[in-house]
Amino acid sequence: MQLTPAATVAAAAVVFSLALILLPSPSEAHNITKILAEFPEFSTFNHFLTTTHLANDINNRETITVCAVDNAGMADLLGKHLSIFALKNVLSLHVLLDYFGAKKLHDITNGTALAATMYQATGSAPGSSGFVNITDLKGGKVGFGAVDNGGIDATFVKSVKEIPYNISVIQISKILPSPDAEAPTPGPSQMNITGIMSAHGCKVFAETLLASPAEQTFDSSVDGGLTIFCPGDAAMKSFLPKFKNLTADGKQSLLEFHGVPIYEPESSLKSNNGPINTLATDGAKKFGLVVQNDGQQVTLKTPVVTARITSTIFDEQPLAIFELDKVLLPRELFKGSLAPTPAPAPAPEPVADAPEPSKKHKSPPAPPAADSPADGPAADQTAADSNGAVRFDGGRFATVCFSLWLIILLL
């Protein structure tokens, strides 16, 4: 059957729409942690991508190449006993800000290429030390070398995973030595946390922290990574009367509730919704927060209050400090602040002259309300969501089925 021009255009439009529906969104394009999890020989490399938070940076970029090193190669690096900050610099040197699949590596123009790396992008690399030389060698080999070290230090082994032209994960034979990347970095303990907060609109919280044992908890946590959610001065001043009514343990717990024992930059908070632990979390009392995004706005939720991040005060590995518009109130300390359940509406008064219903003819029971959450598909969906099951996207499935039916009809 031959289609008319109009039918051909309509069919093409339907096919195009169907393709758009089925394509993954950019945020689902790649996940370096999941990719490497399929290859146990890279488990150490994968672990430190997560520990140094490089995994988040990789996932938030497109057109990128990760030069993975197997567990034996990582053992040589870990034997140098570098700080976590120097280790991040070294691993950042193995993330190229361009796409190099196996074919491109063997087809390098003029036999050599200079690739910028994530280490260069951080601004921490002095001079040209954040670049890597890629050289096409004899015998079909490809060599890699850090510019500040000179020469060829490693060779291409194999392609691990390629998603053109989004991400390429390749294996190289060893870690690229770099004197600049491996150089000692300033210790985070030198940072004056309360001084930073005081100078950027959180003086009241900083002074309150200085008068509490919680300050030591914050200071001792910086080395391993720390994120602080600091209420602004106006919010903290209005809260002080309630704060003074807490016990000594309650005051310490509330202050520690505003700290998270890992480094979470803003990009990480925007991409990782869900519950997080705080410095106040222990085995008996949870003291947890929920991160939830609304577009570019990051909010922190407890059962008692929802606070917004209004600004970034400080963000430099391993410390991030954000200002909030409200004090975070944990349920464990402020159960009484929960909103009361609305009282049921009063029953309508009976009409005095209404005739008494006949005993022989009973009225049929009222059907359940259409929006009742007790049962039905909505309840099943809610139950599935709460149990962590994969949700069935009925709207998307219906759209796909309709598009296929329309194509068949046009043919």
Q: How many domains does the chain have?
A: 2
Spatial contact of 31 and 61, defined as CB atoms under 8 Å apart = no
Spatial contact of 136 and 108, defined as CB atoms under 8 Å apart = yes
The pLDDT tens digits for 256-304 are 999 999 888 888 888 778 899 999 998 666 898 999 987 789 999 999 9
Provide mean pLDDT across the span 96-117: 92
Tell me what pLDDT residue 293 has: 85
Residue 315 identity: D
Provide mean pLDDT across the span 117-131: 87
**Residues 195 and 307 both lie in one domain:** yes
Q: What is the CATH number of the domain that holds 295?
A: 2.30.180.10
> Which one has a higher pLDDT value, 369 or 129?
129
Which residue range(s) make up the domain with 280?
188-337
Name 61's Cβ contacts closer than 8 Å, sequence gap at least 6.
Answer: 97
pLDDT at 198 over 60: yes
Mean pLDDT highest for which of 12-26, 103-117, 238-252, 387-401? 238-252
Provide mean pLDDT across the span 347-368: 47
Name 115's Cβ contacts closer than 8 Å, sequence gap at least 6.
Answer: 65, 96, 97, 98, 100, 131, 132, 133, 134
Q: Which two tokens stand for residue 70?
A: 């197997």
**Residues 192 and 122 both lie in one domain:** no
Residue 65 main-chain phi, psi, to 5 deg: -130, 130
Which of these three, 337, 363, 385, is where a domain ends?
A: 337
102 Rama class: left (phi>0) / alpha (psi -120 to 50) / beta: alpha
Tell me what pLDDT residue 257 has: 96
**Separation between Cα atoms, residue 206 and residue 259, nearest integer Å:** 13
Mean pLDDT of the chain: 80
The pLDDT tens digits for 5-32 are 555 545 544 444 444 444 444 444 689 9
Name 152's Cβ contacts closer than 8 Å, sequence gap at least 6.
Answer: 133, 135, 137, 143, 144, 145
Which of these three, 337, 368, 392, is where a domain ends?
A: 337
What is the residue whose two structure tokens read 């009514």? Answer: 245
Tell me what pLDDT residue 355 has: 46
Spatial contact of 204 and 323, defined as CB atoms under 8 Å apart = no
pLDDT at 409 over 60: yes
The pLDDT tens digits for 234-269 are 999 999 999 999 999 999 999 999 999 988 888 888
**Residues 212 and 142 both lie in one domain:** no
Spatial contact of 263 and 317, defined as CB atoms under 8 Å apart = yes
The pLDDT tens digits for 344-356 are 455 555 544 444 4
To which H or E segment does residue 51 belong?
Answer: helix 43-51
**Residues 137 and 216 both lie in one domain:** no
Read off the pTM.
Answer: 0.50
Taking the mean position of all CA atoms in its chain, how far away is CA 182? 27
Assigned domain for 4 exists: no
Q: Which two tokens stand for residue 98?
A: 């361009």
Spatial contact of 206 and 236, defined as CB atoms under 8 Å apart = no
